[in-house]
């Protein structure tokens, strides 16, 4: 028994010694952070939403991926069989190759909230539509509706309150419908001064229909007389006029009659040679306000919005010609106005491919002309704000010194992407590099409020190139000159640099000391007490 006991003890000792090594060699365990990772949580939420949809339809899919940090949920291989009252046989089936739902989670709460829904490669069975429509489609030769793309984009701009809606419906071999509209809901007081139904400031309305073989298919099932372009124009004119006049209860205005005439002329041309029909509102840059009594009766919107019937959207008529683009090849031979107009088009991509990288070479020569310095610098700052923030900030300072409208917001946007140290250095570089006049040379008169106005101009960048150092200098002088509002402004400037870390605080402390020394020296040397001292 002793040898066996000895063997057992030795084996146990060996196991005890080996246990740590065995524990280190085993597969790693999932951490709590991995279990509750953002993508797993997003996938769980998406599957929960799909489970809720299954109470209304039969739904299955092949793959689901969720990336909440990019705000994207993607589902592939979708098969849906919705419950429809006219589909008692349950034959309706919708297949979708890929559906993507995306938002702006990558940059939340900044300038806009946005949601995009994009369906690719969808097919809708004819059992999913009303029987009369399904019969017409079968007669036209369609076994199903091949939806190449369905895209819907909705956005809300925090800065303006504008809501935009853009949509594309592309049916393969039939037609493509594009729609875009934007507007802002405005508060409105009712008859007795209480909040009432809101008004809407409409900024954009355009819809365009492009034929991709749909008319050729549909015309096969129409009687021969209804295929005649002239007949269709006459019938359409009567039908649309009856609708707009509410069955003849109100007379049509000149704008409405012109719209009906232009629309049916486009329809006639479309039937004769299928192409494109566009309905677009001709609106001023600031949009137009639609009151509730106008949008409650859609017929009146034609005159209010200035709707036009066209063959193509207005943007097609605003494309820059090759002659307009000659500015790029021979800029020295062009007028400053032509350069500025082309630069604006390159920045916005309006009528020409987006080309912000071309703007610096186009506009830098205009900085030497006082007449064009302001707008050229503002456009340069806009063109470079995404590629070179520091250089863009320098141009924004030039635009501010030229009192170009909109530069205060431009400076704020750029500073939000820079360190405070870089901002202070850029402001100092501008003042020294442009040979700006000495601060004391800007002091005149005997009203301390003028000193405060100079401080505020430099602090905000409205009317002067933004310089926190000079803003502090003039605030010190205004406070010493007895301006009762200067103290709060000085404290506001000082607070700009609080809670930004020791490096920023040290840099600002050095600037404070320098400006205090300079302000006191100029106060004595220029004998400013004699200008502002009053004995009552």
Whether the predicted pLDDT of 352 surpasses 90: yes
pLDDT of residue 438: 92
pLDDT reported for residue 16? 46
Given a contact cutoff of 8 angstroms between Cβ atoms, the answer to whether 56 and 44 are in contact is no
Residue 317: how many other CB atoms lie within 10 Å:
9
Distance CA 20, CA 23 (A): 5
Q: What is the DSSP letter of 297?
A: S
Whether the pLDDT of residue 133 is over 50: the answer is: yes
Spatial contact of 532 and 448, defined as CB atoms under 8 Å apart: yes
Neighbours of 14 (CB within 10 A): 10
Q: Positive or negative CA dihedral for 157, 158, 160, 162?
A: positive
Distance CA 51, CA 66 (A): 16
Q: How high does pLDDT run on average in the chain?
A: 87
Buried b (16+ CB within 10 A) or exposed e, 374-387: bbbbbbbbbbbbee
Spatial CA neighbour of 386 closest among 407, 350, 413, 349: 413
- What confidence score (pLDDT) does residue 65 get? 85
Q: In this structure, how many other beta carbons lie within 10 angstroms of the beta carbon of residue 471?
A: 26
Q: Tokens representing 223?
A: 């009687």
pLDDT for residue 392 is more than 80: yes
**Measured on CA atoms in the order 69, 70, 75, 81, is the torsion positive or negative?**
positive
Least confident of 226-240, 288-302, 374-388, 518-532: 288-302
Q: What is the pLDDT of residues 9-64, one digit of tens each?
A: 554 444 444 455 444 567 666 666 665 666 677 778 788 888 888 888 899 999 88
3-state secondary structure of 405: coil
457-478 confidence digits (pLDDT tens): 999 999 899 999 999 999 999 9
Predicted confidence at residue 184, as pLDDT, reads 95
On the CB side of 156, how many CA atoms lie within 13 Å of its CA? 6
pLDDT at 104 over 70: no
DSSP assigned state of 80: E
CA distance 411 to 423: 10
- Residue 366 in tokens: 């205009």
Specify the pLDDT at position 76. Answer: 93
Rounded Cα distance between 327 and 113, Å, is 38
How confident is the model over 171-191, as a mean pLDDT? 89
CA-CA distance, 63 to 44, in Å (whole number)? 13
Angle at 508 between CA 505 and CA 513, to 5 degrees: 125
Burial status of residue 428 (CB atoms within 10 A of its CB: 0-12, 13-18, 19 or more) = middle
Angle 447-459-395 (CA atoms, 0-180°, nearest 5)?
125
CA-based nearest residue to 494, from 457, 469, 525: 469
Share of the chain above pLDDT 70, in %: 90
Given this model, what pLDDT does residue 9 score? 52
Segment 407-435 mean pLDDT: 93
pLDDT (average), residues 206-226: 87
Tokens of 148: 């190449």
Report the candidate in 348, 404, 352 with the shortest Cα–Cα distance to residue 375: 404
| Alpha helical stretches, state H, 165-219 | 214-218
Rounded to the nearest 5 degrees, what angle is found at the Cα of 66, between the Cα atoms of 60 and 67?
A: 165
């Amino acid at each position: 028994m002793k040898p066996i006991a000895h063997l057992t003890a030795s084996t146990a000792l060996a196991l005890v010694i080996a246990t740590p090594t065995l524990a280190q060699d085993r597969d790693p365990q999932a951490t709590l952070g991995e279990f509750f990772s953002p993508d797993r949580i997003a996938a769980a939420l998406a599957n929960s939403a799909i489970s809720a949809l299954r109470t209304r339809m039969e739904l299955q899919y092949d793959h689901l991926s969720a990336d909440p940090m990019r705000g994207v949920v993607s589902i592939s291989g979708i098969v849906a069989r919705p419950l429809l009252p006219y589909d008692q046989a349950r034959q309706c089936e919708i297949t979708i190759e890929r559906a993507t739902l995306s938002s702006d989670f990558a940059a939340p709460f900044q300038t806009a909230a946005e949601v995009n829904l994009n369906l690719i490669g969808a097919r809708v069975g004819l059992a999913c539509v009303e029987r009369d429509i399904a019969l017409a489609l079968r007669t036209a030769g369609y076994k199903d509706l091949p939806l190449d793309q369905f895209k819907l984009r909705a956005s809300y701009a925090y800065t303006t309150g504008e809501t935009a809606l853009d949509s594309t419906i592309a049916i393969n071999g039939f037609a493509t419908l594009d729609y875009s509209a934007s507007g802002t809901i405005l508060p409105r007081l009712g008859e007795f001064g209480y909040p009432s139904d809101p008004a809407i400031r409409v900024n954009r309305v355009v819809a365009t229909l492009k034929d991709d073989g749909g008319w050729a298919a549909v015309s096969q099932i129409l009687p021969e007389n209804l295929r005649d372009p002239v007949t269709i124009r006459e019938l359409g004119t009567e039908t649309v006029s009856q609708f707009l006049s509410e069955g003849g209860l109100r007379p049509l205005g000149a704008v409405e009659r012109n719209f009906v005439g232009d629309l049916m002329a486009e329809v006639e041309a479309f039937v004769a040679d299928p192409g494109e029909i566009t309905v677009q509102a001709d609106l001023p840059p600031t949009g137009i306000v639609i009151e509730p009594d106008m949008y409650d009766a859609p017929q009146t919107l034609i005159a209010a919005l200035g709707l036009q019937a066209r063959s193509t959207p207005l943007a097609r008529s605003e494309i820059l010609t090759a002659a307009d683009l000659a500015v790029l090849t021979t800029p020295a031979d062009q007028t400053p106005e032509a350069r500025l107009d082309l630069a604006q088009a390159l920045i916005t991509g309006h009528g020409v491919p987006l080309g912000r990288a071309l703007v610096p070479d186009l506009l830098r020569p205009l900085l030497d002309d006082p007449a064009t310095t302001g707008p050229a610098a503002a456009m340069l700052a806009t063109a470079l704000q995404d590629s070179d923030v520091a250089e863009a900030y320098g141009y924004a300072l030039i635009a501010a010194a030229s009192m170009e409208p909109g530069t205060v917001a431009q400076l704020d946007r750029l500073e939000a992407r820079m360190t405070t140290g870089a901002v202070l250095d850029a402001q100092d570089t501008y003042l020294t590099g442009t040979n700006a006049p000495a601060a004391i040379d800007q002091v005149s008169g005997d009203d301390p409020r003028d000193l405060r106005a100079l401080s505020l101009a430099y602090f905000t960048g409205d009317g002067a190139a933004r310089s926190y150092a000079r803003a502090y200098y003039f605030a010190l002088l205004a406070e010493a000159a007895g301006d009762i509002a200067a103290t709060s402004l000085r404290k506001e400037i000082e607070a700009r640099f609080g809670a930004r870390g020791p490096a920023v605080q040290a840099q600002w402390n050095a600037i404070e000391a320098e400006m205090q020394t300079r302000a006191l020296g100029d106060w004595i040397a220029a004998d400013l007490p004699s200008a502002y001292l009053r004995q009552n």
